[in-house]
Structure 1
Amino acid sequence: MTAVLYVNIYFVISLIVLPGPSSGETLTEYNNLYNTTLKGYNKDCRPLQNQRNTMNATLYFYLRTIAKLDEVSSKMITVGLFEINWWDDIITWNPFSYGDTTLLHIDESLVWKPSMTLINTMSTNVGLLGLTQSKIRYWYNGYALWNVADRFQTTCDFDTTYFPFDKQTCEIKIVAWDYTTDKFMIYPLKPTVNLTYYSENGAWELVSTETRSEYLSYYSVVVFSLNLKRRPMYFVIYLLIPVFTMLFLNTLVFMLPSDSGERVGYAINCLLSLTVFITLVSEGLPQDSEPMPVIGYVLTVYLIISAIICVLTIFILRLHHKDENKEIPPTFRKMYNILTCATCKKKSTFVEAHVSSIELENVEEFDKQNKFDVLSLTWRKLSSRLDTICFISSMSSVITVGVVFFVIVTVKS
């Protein structure tokens, strides 16, 4: 940590005291400086007078945009620029000897530069930083500045448990692979990524950034972390709301008259619509099994609820169309009594609360009528009662599953 602080302070002070860039008094003086500087220069040797010392470099990342994040392929594509700084003991000169020339631009292929690569690249090559046509800027005191702009494809370990309300941390890891840590070290120049020129991504919100140093065996590594939060509104509007709407319409099958002849077809059409919709949108959902997204369980439960509604619809219609002369088994009578128990209690409570305004004979007549209804139970009354209970139960199940899902993803994500 002390070494990082020392290097950062050293570079900041040097940038302050560096004079402004100059192209030299004449072209001849600039060419003389250029030729003199590169004469006898060995680009395969670290530009240190004392080769026993450790050479240090700093990295600074300017993030332009996050072009794409793909959960299926675990890929992140970013566009940005790396600013790499170091001190060169070989390329130094006296500006007054060359017409006050304080700055040189030299092709990167002609001088020494730190060989760095992306560890977590998605490209087919090793992900080397730098292009042969880019230039390295050198100041007269040996300060070197190398800018590397590119489109970087890196891997990202997605945790889609709470999709589409999930948060992700994607990293860009760079390693100095030519030299071990006793010869060459790289450090982040600042604790965060530069977002001055950042352009927002429509699907992801960049919450924060951070940088840190790591070690990979005997090699130095710099990690740039991007903390991202998914913008969920697209999936809420085009996935969750349509699914919930289809389930709501499916539960309304119990409100259709049993003699309409459309109940079974209506229930099956709702089930097929939900199945087709889930199949179509599944391509846009995270295709991960470990961890399994919570929304996958929710859609599965909703599909099961829709199938159960179809089964219950067929069962109730079968009871509705039974011969009224056929005796109702005791099991169904007990079921009817259990289902009507709560309703009877509510009616009795209502009567007791208003006994002062209702005549006693009306109350007795109400009790007799209620008892008569139980004794004169028919298949149609039983199916009607089952319709009411199934509608309430299915609607409650749909709402409960939805509420539990939103509570889980909003609290734990």
Structure 2
Amino acid sequence: MIMWLHGAVLDVTCPLDFSRFPFDTQTCYLIITPWQSSMKQIQLQPMQHGPTVDNNYLPNSNVSEWKIEEIQFSLESYRSQFSVAYQYIKVSIRIKRQPLYFVIMVLVPFFMLSWLACLIFTIGDTGDRLAVALSLILSMTMYVVIVSSNAPRSMRTVPLLGESWSILCRYTTF
């Protein structure tokens, strides 16, 4: 038996779901296989203690936006169309966003503006109501500019926060 330890730094792209931003959890899958070697030539064996993460490659946990929650792997095999058996290792990495920054900088102002939007209707039918409403719409516009620069961009899903914001804007302007 020959043991070959091979280190590598991999850049991996995973499809992400931001619908629960900033309370989202993402799972990324990696498949590692020796494509040119069958099971007769190379047999993969998992490590006894399971996968480990070298903390030297992780950013400072106090500053990082993400936290690694779980790493799992499984050893699997398949047969090609020519009945040749191959092995591969399937790695699953689950990460969770640290939401504190987004709660303070995004959600708290959102709820404050929502509360102020409801208070507009308690003001009498004077010119003050119009002035407060216009100031609120201006504040909401500035808020959208700030949030859009910090929020993740996705073409597949709209975060719940974005849907709530759209409803609030419609409610305030009409």
Q: TM-score range by the shorter chain?
A: 0.7 to 0.9
Hey, what's the Cα distance between the residues in 1 that align with 2:42 and 2:53?
28
Hey, what's the Cα distance between the residues in 1 that align with 2:87 and 2:156?
31
User: Cα 1:191–1:171, aligned 2, differ >3 Å: closer, same or farther?
Assistant: farther
* 2:19 match: 161
TM-score, normalization by structure 1: 0.36
> In the alignment, which of 41, 51, 55 is matched to residue 197 of structure 1?
55
The answer to which structure, 1 or 2, has the higher relative contact order (CA under 8 A, 6+ apart) is 2
2:158 paired with 1:297 = no
* 2:110 match: 243
What is the CA-CA distance between 1:246 and the residue it aligns to?
1.6
User: What is the root-mean-square deviation in Å for CA atoms of aligned residues?
Assistant: 2.6
Look up the SS of the partner of 1:186 in the other structure: coil
Residue 166 of structure 2 aligns to which amino acid in structure 1?
A: T
- Structure having the higher helix fraction is 1
Q: Which structure 2 residues correspond to residues 382-393 of structure 1 after superposition, within 5 A?
A: none
Look up the SS of the partner of 2:90 in the other structure: strand
Look up the SS of the partner of 2:20 in the other structure: coil
> In the alignment, which of 14, 18, 28 is matched to residue 170 of structure 1?
28
User: What runs of 5+ residues in structure 2 fail to find an aligned partner?
Assistant: 81-85
2:92 paired with 1:230 = no
State the aligned residue count: 165
What is the CA-CA distance between 1:240 and the residue it aligns to?
1.0
What is the CA-CA distance between 1:245 and the residue it aligns to?
0.9
Residue 282 of structure 1 aligns to which amino acid in structure 2?
A: S
Residue 33 of structure 2 aligns to which amino acid in structure 1?
A: V
Deviations 1:85-142, CA, capped at 9 Å, x for gaps: x51xxxxxxxxxxxxxxxxxxxxxxxxxxxxxxxxxxxxxxxxxxxxxxxxxxxxxxx
> In the alignment, which of 121, 132, 147 is matched to residue 266 of structure 1?
132
Hey, what's the Cα distance between the residues in 2 that align with 1:155 and 1:263?
50
User: What runs of 5+ residues in structure 1 fail to find an aligned partner?
Assistant: 1-85, 88-143, 309-413
What is the CA-CA distance between 1:211 and the residue it aligns to?
0.9
2:151 paired with 1:285 = yes
Hey, what's the Cα distance between the residues in 1 that align with 2:157 and 2:48?
34
What is the CA-CA distance between 1:239 and the residue it aligns to?
0.7
Hey, what's the Cα distance between the residues in 1 that align with 2:149 and 2:55?
33
Deviations 1:12-53, CA, capped at 9 Å, x for gaps: xxxxxxxxxxxxxxxxxxxxxxxxxxxxxxxxxxxxxxxxxx
Give 1 or 2 for the bigger CA radius of gyration. 1
* 2:83 match: none
Look up the SS of the partner of 1:213 in the other structure: strand
> In the alignment, which of 66, 72, 88 is matched to residue 210 of structure 1?
72
* 1:306 match: 172
Look up the SS of the partner of 1:296 in the other structure: helix
Q: Which structure 2 residues correspond to residues 344-359 of structure 1 after superposition, within 5 A?
A: none
> In the alignment, which of 252, 259, 264 is matched to residue 119 of structure 2?
252
User: Cα 1:300–1:221, aligned 2, differ >3 Å: closer, same or farther?
Assistant: same
What is the CA-CA distance between 1:301 and the residue it aligns to?
1.1
Contact 1:190–1:211 under 8 Å retained in 2: no
